[in-house]
Structure 1
């Protein structure tokens, strides 16, 4: 499955960068001394569906199928790194 690495800066509402590779993302974060989270996302499938397909999440309540729930869904099972001032924590 194709994947990308997305950086969300601390306090930001939207991603500030998307990279094809983790190393290039980490280099950019370090070079700019950024604070935030770098997360691997699957391409062509929502995280909601990806988490279900990979056994990371199951729909057990009706409210978990609502638009509001799906559009805000994220998964701690996604590979991710936290950075503070460009340094991985």
Structure 2
């Protein structure tokens, strides 16, 4: 079994400007989210790689416009293909 971690879980609380928690497993994240009865989104992010590059490599993004290669686009890019879960008062939405 490899000890290399390739995904990190980031929690972004409802209404927050910045993320409020980063976890090595979804289980650890959910214990924290439930313990504080938080609302927001928990998203898997690749480690040591930007989401834009990850999406390109995995064919989740097909660049069709020059503007999709701009720094502004790349720095704001997220992908619906990232695993993500929504929580309300500590409970995961189904």
For residues 76 and 10 of structure 1, what CA distance do their matches in structure 2 show?
18
C-alpha distance in 1, partners of 2:70/2:17?
A: 22
Deviation at 1:63, TM superposition (A): 0.4
Structure 2 residue matching 1:56: 3-state secondary structure? coil
Gaps of 5+ in 2: none
Instruction: Find the aligned partners of 1:26 and 1:52 in 2 and give their Cα distance.
Output: 29
The counterpart of 1:61, out of the listed 36, 59, 65, is: 65
Structure 1: state its 5+ residue gaps. none
Number of residue-to-residue matches in the alignment: 89
TM-score using structure 2 length: 0.92
Match of 1:21 in 2: 25
Task: Quote the residue 1:81 is aligned against.
Answer: 85
TM-score (norm 1): 0.97
CA distance in structure 2 between the partners assigned to 1:3 and 1:16 by the alignment: 17
Deviations 1:27-85 (A, max 9, x none): 10001000000000000100000011111101111000111100000001000000000
What secondary structure sits across from 2:62 in the alignment?
coil
Root mean square deviation of aligned Cα:
0.8
2:42 corresponds in structure 1 to 38
SS at match of 2:52: helix
